[in-house]
Amino acid sequence: MPGAAFFDLDKTIIAKSSVLAFGKPFYREGLLSRGMIAKSIYAQIVFMLVGADESKMEKIRESMLSLTKGWNQERIATIVRETLDEIISPIIFAEALELFAEHHAAGQRVIIVSSSPMEVVGPLSEYLGADEVIATLAEIDDDGNYTGDLAFYAYGPFKAEAISAIALRDGLDLAECYAYSDSITDLPM
């Protein structure tokens, strides 16, 4: 079996936080206020300058869950799909796409592993040509809206557990696989 390559998303494949990158389209669609955009810009600057340790990631996660509670899951996925070229194309690291091509040429699957939500990572991974996704899964109510809770948080050791589950499912030898990330929080990966 040829193996797989597991890629973190934010600051590994793209130059910034994938969630924060979609702030402008969310604002245009009335989901965010100017104040929320300002907070997002501040968070992005901090994230880019100093990164995010476990404590900062927890604060970001709680803030995002509170902010998105009540938003419609399908509406978010639609906004992301419709604005991918505008938002993501300018911030993709060319080197990441070259690595995707190298791994695909070697017969290896490319899997994006991100703490960002599936509604962002799923369409983005299709756009980039990845084969599979591990991403954070939000709990959704009967009306298709976010509850403010998570079903699965794809972060740190949970990323490693999800990777191990894929390896077990597909008979992959993790010693023959690759992992790419910019962050020490992904060391378990």
Q: How far apart are CA 9 and CA 166, in angstroms?
A: 18
**137 phi and psi, to 5 degrees?**
-115, 120
Whether 149 is catalytic is: no
Is residue 142 very low, low, confident or very high in pLDDT (cuts 50, 70, 90)?
A: very high
Whether 8 is catalytic is: yes
Which of 10, 85, 131, 186 is the catalytic position? 10
Which of 8, 131, 142, 170 is the catalytic position? 8
The pLDDT of residue 34 is 75
Mean pLDDT of the chain: 88
Residues in contact with 184: Cβ distance below 8 Å, sequence separation at least 6, in sequence order: 53
Distances (CA, A) of 135 to 93, 114, 160: 20, 5, 12
Tokens read off for 82: 């419709």
For the chain, which residues make up each domain, given as ranges? Answer: 4-186
pLDDT score of 86 more than 80: yes
| Local structure of 99: helix, strand or coil | helix
The pLDDT of residue 33 is 79
The pLDDT of residue 124 is 95
The pLDDT of residue 46 is 58
Classify domain 4-186 at the CATH class level.
alpha beta
Residues in contact with 27: Cβ distance below 8 Å, sequence separation at least 6, in sequence order: 33, 34, 36, 37
The pLDDT of residue 32 is 82
Element (H, E) at 76: helix 73-87
